């Protein structure tokens, strides 16, 4: 078996999905130059430009568009939207072997469950993403770091190896002993900003409106009760804390569902508000506002042209 604990070991890292999150990650790893990076995408790209901290990084990127051209990798970074996980099955079948580890950089609280049917013998590491990645052109991606850490994983051998893997990339990894609480905290943020920005077709700054701010607090009050019932260590002041963070965010930040609606794509609503409503049903908790948002976003998603 290979020794992935050695930081000097050069590994093969495959990034599946070259949108905002995957594109920024692939380029950050590529710029670090520590490992061999392979991007798996639907369309060919010879190089990407990474915008970060007011600077640009121009580098060629190895991209394959046919799973038949890929082989086993040490690490697979699954960066598709959660509802597109089944579409990644042909890639995972080619990239995964007994020693492969899949880092699932997706939204939601059930990373492992949704990926397991396609993972084969590979190990799965759920990852919470905090950086803001935006694909702003066919050959350009923008990375904004908006938190004290960019990625969060459960503390343990796989999580620590993941942190070592990203050394030199500029992406900061936090290993936590309470991943459940962290995952719920991210979901709480997502069930506010994603539906609201997608339905209003405005970026996150729309939450600064007094009426939208009040609505967001009500959305979060319902969601916090569900998170607490599911074992997350979250206090009653969480809605105010999240809204304070949103108000402090830089102008111009969008969300994945906002960008998807602008592009006429289906929405990732089931992994976000859908997961919250499902958990509320499990614990017998009322979430009428979130149910209304789920219904509206489903209708928008079903009408998306593709």
For residue 23, give the nearest of 114, 136, 101 by alpha carbon. 136
> Would strands 63-64 and 12-16 be described as parallel, antiparallel, or unpaired?
unpaired
Bridge-partner residues for 105, per DSSP? 127
Phi-psi region of 108 (alpha: psi -120 to 50; beta: other; left: phi over 0): left
Residues belonging to the active site: 186
The widest CA-to-CA distance across the chain, in whole angstroms, is 57
């Amino acid at each position: 078996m290979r020794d992935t604990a050695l930081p000097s070991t050069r590994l093969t890292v495959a990034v599946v999905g070259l949108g905002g999150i995957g594109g920024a990650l692939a380029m950050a790893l590529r710029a670090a130059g520590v490992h061999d990076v392979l991007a798996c995408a639907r369309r060919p790209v010879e190089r990407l430009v990474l915008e970060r901290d007011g600077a640009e990084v121009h580098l060629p990127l190895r991209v394959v568009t046919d799973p038949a051209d890929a082989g086993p990798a040490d690490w697979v970074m699954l960066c598709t939207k959660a509802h597109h996980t089944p579409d990644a099955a042909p890639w995972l079948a080619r990239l995964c072997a007994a020693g492969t580890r899949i880092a699932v950089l997706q939204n939601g609280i059930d990373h492992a469950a949704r990926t397991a049917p396609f993972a084969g013998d590979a190990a799965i590491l759920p990852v919470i993403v905090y950086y803001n990645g935006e694909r702003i052109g066919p050959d350009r991606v923008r990375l904004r770091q908006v938190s004290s850490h960019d990625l969060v994983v459960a503390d343990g051998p796989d999580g620590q190896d993941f942190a070592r893997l990203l050394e030199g990339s500029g992406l900061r990894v936090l290993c936590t002993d309470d991943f459940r609480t962290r995952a719920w905290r991210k979901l709480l943020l997502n069930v506010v900003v994603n539906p609201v920005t997608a339905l209003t077709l405005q970026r996150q700054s729309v939450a600064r409106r007094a009426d939208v701010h009040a609505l967001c607090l009500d959305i979060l009050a319902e969601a916090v009760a569900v998170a607490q019932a599911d074992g997350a260590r979250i206090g009653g002041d969480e809605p105010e804390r999240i809204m304070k963070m949103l108000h402090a965010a830089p102008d111009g930040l969008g969300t994945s569902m906002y960008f998807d609606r602008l592009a006429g794509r289906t929405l990732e609503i089931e992994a976000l508000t859908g997961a919250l409503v499902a958990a509320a049903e499990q614990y017998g908790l009322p979430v009428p506002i979130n149910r209304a948002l789920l219904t509206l976003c489903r209708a928008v998603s079903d009408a998306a042209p593709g």
